[in-house]
Amino acid sequence: MRQGSRAAASVLPALLCAGCAGAQSAFDTGGAQALGLARLMIFIMAVCAAVWLAVMAALAFALWRRRQEATEPLAIDARRQRRMSLVVGGSVAATVVIIGLFTVTSFWVTRSLWAGDRDAVKIDMRGYQWWWQVTYRDGNQAFTTANEIHVPVGRLVRIRLTADDVIHSFWVPSLTGKQDLIPGRTNEVSFVAERPGVYRGQCAEFCGLQHARMAMQVIAQSPQDYDAWRQSQLAPAAKPSDPEQVFGEQVFLSKPCAACHTVRGTSATAQLGPDLTHVASRSTIAAGVLETTRGSLAAWIADPQTIKPGNNMPMVALSPDELNAISAYMASLK
């Protein structure tokens, strides 16, 4: 049984999505939770498929079996009636057994998903229209980042979920099932990533205009790489090194940018938008909309409303020099 479901767990994804590795898929599993879910899903689907085939076969037989010439519609054979009752009753009993089996299996899988672990990586996640604020509480010091979660391979990760504005839903299908982020409530989700890699996720609860552009990435790294990343994130922002970046920092701090964003180590400490202290270390900006490059940063700052209409970042009037400088500064925030 176990062996069989393991084989099926490897065959089915290949059938379902040939060559979609690294994407977000419930069957391209990266950890124990997702694997447990995938096995349960394959088990239930296999049983259901078998039942469906059996019912279709019965229907086909009922329609096309050989029968005697037409009789009166009301001429009912009592003995045949009894036989039919037995078959129908048996089928109903089988239905009861199957759903009983599904219910119990589901219950056990649910329990296995919530294994506790004192050593877990603790993360707070807050959903905003339309990005994710991520605050690490791993160790003594906390730091905040956005739209990208780094986790050490093999260690349990526990994420507390809440939302600032409307309901969002955390979902990285290759790692575990989804859980909602709800204003006024705190939920929790936990998972282990067992192989290094990038796992994509995106908001799964309709949250308004740009619900479609609210992605995130989970980057699973070796414990050493994770620690290095954590140390670098704990550090305040890099001091600008060349004159253009220095000018860029001045523009950032004097224009409306600083009214919403934080760059640790400067006077910008607002919390309305993503923390930009290490924005250039993240692989995407605007919750997965653009790959992080100096060019995309410039494009985004120049006209956020064309790239992601309706998002909460206003277009700030900047001269070409200011735009150049601020994107250079942003690109330096590794």
How many residues of this chain bind other proteins (CB under 8 A)? 91
8 A C-beta contact, residue 218 and residue 151 = yes
The amino acid at residue 141 is: Q
Decide: is 56 part of the binding site for other proteins (CB under 8 A): yes
Select 67 or 119, whichever has its Cβ closest to other proteins.
67
Give residues 123-162 in contact with other proteins (rule: CB under 8 A): 129, 161
Longest CA–CA separation in the chain, Å: 99
Decide: is 198 part of the binding site for other proteins (CB under 8 A): no
Residue in 8, 9, 46, 51 binding other proteins, rule: CB under 8 A: 51
- In total, the chain counts a number of residues equal to 334
Decide: is 26 part of the binding site for other proteins (CB under 8 A): yes
Any idea what DSSP says for residue 282?
Answer: S
Give residues 58-87 in contact with other proteins (rule: CB under 8 A): 58-59, 61-63, 65, 67, 70-71, 73-74, 76, 80-81, 84-85, 87
- The stretch among 47-55, 117-125, 136-144, 251-259 that binds other proteins (CB under 8 A) is 47-55
Tokens describing residue 251: 């523009």
Angle made by CA atoms 165, 305, 248, in degrees to the nearest 5: 100
Tokens describing residue 163: 């939302």
The amino acid at residue 95 is: T
Decide: is 97 part of the binding site for other proteins (CB under 8 A): no
Select 264 or 282, whichever has its Cβ closest to other proteins.
282
Decide: is 175 part of the binding site for other proteins (CB under 8 A): no
Give residues 243-282 in contact with other proteins (rule: CB under 8 A): none
Spatial CB neighbours of 9, under 8 Å, sequence gap ≥ 6? 27, 29, 35, 38, 39, 42
Give residues 275-334 in contact with other proteins (rule: CB under 8 A): 288-289, 309-310
Select 1 or 97, whichever has its Cβ closest to other proteins.
97
Decide: is 14 part of the binding site for other proteins (CB under 8 A): no
8 A C-beta contact, residue 238 and residue 333 = yes
Any idea what DSSP says for residue 153?
Answer: T
Any idea what DSSP says for residue 160?
Answer: E
Decide: is 169 part of the binding site for other proteins (CB under 8 A): yes
- The stretch among 146-154, 203-211, 230-238, 242-250 that binds other proteins (CB under 8 A) is 203-211
Where do we find the tokens 């906390």? 142
